[in-house]
Amino acid sequence: MQLILASASPARLATLTNAGINPIVRVSNVDEETIEANMGSSTPSEIAQALAQAKCEKVTQELADSNELTPNTIVIGCDSVFELNGKPYGKPENAAQAKSRWQEMMNATGILHTGHYITFTNEHGEQNTAEATASTQVHLGELTEDEMDAYVKSGEPLAVAGGFTLDGLGGAFVQGVTGDPSNVVGISLPTVRKLLTELGITWTNLWNQAR
């Protein structure tokens, strides 16, 4: 079995690795901004799902073009969008925006949507797909002015959708979640397990597989 993660996110890779799964990373270089710009009235969860599908399909096509789409190949694409007050939030553009976002987010609840899209090329070379969006409520804590300034200064908020992490420095500022925490990090483990089961693949058979 060949397992490909179509994402450059180190947090997604670490989430899979910690759960016993060692994928090969293939970055899709999909033009996310253009796709998003063409989805004018879509919801944040629809945007996440469309981008996950675009990443997965692009990497699957590239593998096919280079004759690497061998039988028993799984390709997983993911994309995450943070929703606050009904609006989608990507990475903050600069430190000032990161701080003003936190002033809006603190003591509030947002929703982290992650789209998941999987292609599976089976032993006969036939391709099947499975997809699901998972959504987790994130309850942000209260930060003092000093804590907010220190967090923005760390640079972390500028690198991530929504301007916070659960698995990094931001973890101490998240009061709690309602839903799957791995989904907040960027790839929902129970969701991927369910999608693979739909495709006839047993999750635990992927453990300890050499690449």
Binding site for a second copy (CB under 8 A): 15, 18-20, 136, 141, 144, 146-147, 150-151, 154, 166-169, 171-182, 189-190, 192-193, 202-205, 207
What gap in Å lies between CA 163 and CA 161, rounded to an integer?
6
Nearer to a second copy among residue 90 and residue 141 (C-beta): 141
CA distances from 133 to 26, 53, 57, 117, 171 (A): 21, 11, 16, 9, 23
Which residues, other chains included, contact 209 with Cβ-Cβ below 8 Å and sequence gap of 6+?
1, 3, 22
Contact 173, 143 (CB under 8 A): yes
Contact 78, 99 (CB under 8 A): no
| Min CB(127)–a second copy separation in Å | 24
Nearer to a second copy among residue 91 and residue 194 (C-beta): 194
| Min CB(174)–a second copy separation in Å | 7
Nearer to a second copy among residue 90 and residue 181 (C-beta): 181
| Min CB(18)–a second copy separation in Å | 6
Nearer to a second copy among residue 117 and residue 173 (C-beta): 173
| Min CB(11)–a second copy separation in Å | 10
Nearer to a second copy among residue 100 and residue 178 (C-beta): 178
Half-sphere exposure of 113 (CA within 13 A, CB side): 22
The strand pair at 73-84 and 87-89 is best described as antiparallel
What gap in Å lies between CA 113 and CA 132, rounded to an integer?
10
Is 31 tagged catalytic? no
| Min CB(30)–a second copy separation in Å | 26
The two tokens of residue 165 are 């992490």
What gap in Å lies between CA 169 and CA 153, rounded to an integer?
12
Catalytic residue among 79, 146, 167, 180: 79
Catalytic residue annotation: 79
